[in-house]
Structure 1
Amino acid sequence: MKKQAYPFIFLLALLFMIVGTCRYSPGEAAGNESLRPLRTIARVLQNNGIEPKQWIVYTREYSQQIQNDAAFFQKLDELKRENRAFRWSFEASHHVKKATGIYKRPFFQEKIQLIMTATKDKPQTYILYEVKGLNWSEKIWEKATKEIEKKSNQLFVKQPTFFTCMNGEFSGNMKGGLFHNALHLLREFQATPVESLQEESLVSLSAYTEQWDSVLPTNDHPMNIQLALRERLGGKTSIVVGTPIITIEY
């Protein structure tokens, strides 16, 4: 992963490629393990005077059984029957069919997507699941975790790999500069930097920590955490932490 390629918005196509490359230690339950880091991220942010705000959990699975339009719409009917509380929409172009279901709960939102893309050989179909919250508390996370595990068992054949991401805001003056504070936060995660990007008002770091079993192989070193700090108007600094990679705008 090249430094200049760090995205502000993580592209869907890149996520498709990366999710399948994450590795887990033998004998570990990948889905449960890959949900744990979000609680750790929230604790580290709070311990450093940073207020956790938006958080996202994201996963997807390739469906080998859906290889034509008939199978796609049959699966869509099944998803609608099993998720009646969701509001569904559908859009299509020459190359892509996408159905989206959204359910807005009191403290977080669930989204299911069924996407089929045309390729030279045969269509590729994915089921995507995302949970997004605008507030953080242990009580909210406990409720969200139960729904995530329940919905994952319904949607996916295999135990999925979850991407987790959280942003926060520090309203005081950060002493020592962005890069110094980014390194301090990485030490809180017991993480070793792998790559970095530094600009006048933005610092982004990729790193590796042995705390978490997920590993994203790169050309040189494995990584499983990304962290970004950006200075904003009014003396505020926004912080985004993701594992194994940032998946929301920063």
Structure 2
Amino acid sequence: MNLAKNIHYILLGCLMIFVLGNNTNASDESSPLLLLTDSVKSVDGLIEEWALHTRERLTEEKPDDAVRRLQTNLTGWKIGSANRDENVQFTAARTKGTVHQKVQVVSSDTDGGVVYVLYSVTAADEEEMRTFLAQELKPTYSQIFHSTPQIFTCIKGKFDDKLEEVLPNQLSKLLSSWEAEKKEAVFEKNFYSLSAYSTHFISSLSLPDHEMNVQVGLRKDQRGEGTNFVIGTPLITIEY
């Protein structure tokens, strides 16, 4: 496992602590995704996927009660089978156009049997995602969660330029538009990862030496001359 992946998994390990300690309004959480979208488009980035991820630890109800509640609330969703081998007690999915939603009730062996409700949304069309954020996110969110756990937002796509050209151009312009302060960077052959802090984004993640709330991963496209990107706030939660 290379250094960049090590850093990625360390940050993912912080996700549980961060989610449990931060609540916010779901309607406010669409703005970071839209800010990422608009800023990347302004530097000619082609966005191929939009994603939201969050989870809530079950403390107010038993897992079986949560499953029954979700089955009742998520009318029109496709209910899947439980998979005890993977600690999945419930799963439901709904697809509308390119917008795909998924809900799971999952127990964690590493957390002493703690149970979480996981929720994710992905889309491959900007207008469909914008419509979902404006019309469906808040009511769906309230049907799934008791509180309002932090939403992690990510976009992925491609720049036409080579990695060596993206760093001083598109990336530099993005950091400037966010008024972001660079915190950590990893540069390997054909790969660059950056963590930064910007007051333009709502939430932040406290690390031992600093706070961060936006992360950028850039990788040379092995099939062509372009550069693949993944950008997330407050950190990237999808593989890059």
TM-score in terms of structure 2 length: 0.86
Conserved 8 A contact 1:110-1:132: yes
Q: What is aligned with 2:165?
A: 177
**Cα RMSD for the two superposed structures:** 2.6
Q: What is aligned with 1:124?
A: 114
Q: What is aligned with 1:135?
A: 125
Q: What is aligned with 1:109?
A: 100
Structure-2 change in CA distance of 1:5 and 1:18 (3 Å): farther
Asked if 1:92 is matched to 2:93, the reply is no
Q: Which amino acid aligns with 2:101?
A: E
Asked if 1:241 is matched to 2:231, the reply is yes
Distance in structure 2 (CA, Å) of the matches to 1:5 and 1:98? 29
Asked if 1:56 is matched to 2:51, the reply is yes
Q: What is aligned with 2:26?
A: 31
Structure-2 change in CA distance of 1:120 and 1:102 (3 Å): closer
Distance in structure 2 (CA, Å) of the matches to 1:187 and 1:47? 12
Give 1:199 deviation, angstroms.
0.9
Q: Which has the higher contact order (CA 8 A, sep 6+)?
A: 1
Task: Count the aligned residue pairs.
Answer: 235
Structure-2 change in CA distance of 1:216 and 1:105 (3 Å): same
- Higher relative helix content: 2
Q: What is aligned with 1:5?
A: 6
What are structure 1's unaligned runs of at least 5 residues?
A: 24-28
- Tell me whether 76-85 or 207-216 shows the greater mean CA deviation: 76-85
Give 1:78 deviation, angstroms.
2.2
Write the deviation string for residues 183-222 of structure 1: whole angstroms up to 9, x where unpaired. Answer: 3322222111000010111111000001122010011111
Q: Which amino acid aligns with 2:74?
A: N
Conserved 8 A contact 1:8-1:249: no
Q: What is aligned with 2:15?
A: 15
SS in 1 for 2:211: coil
Give 1:131 deviation, angstroms.
0.8
Distance in structure 2 (CA, Å) of the matches to 1:205 and 1:16? 21
TM-score in terms of structure 1 length: 0.83
Query: What percentage of residue pairs aligned between the two structures are identical?
Result: 25
Q: What is aligned with 1:75?
A: 66
Distance in structure 2 (CA, Å) of the matches to 1:150 and 1:170? 35
Misfit runs of 4+, over 4 Å = 8-11, 118-121
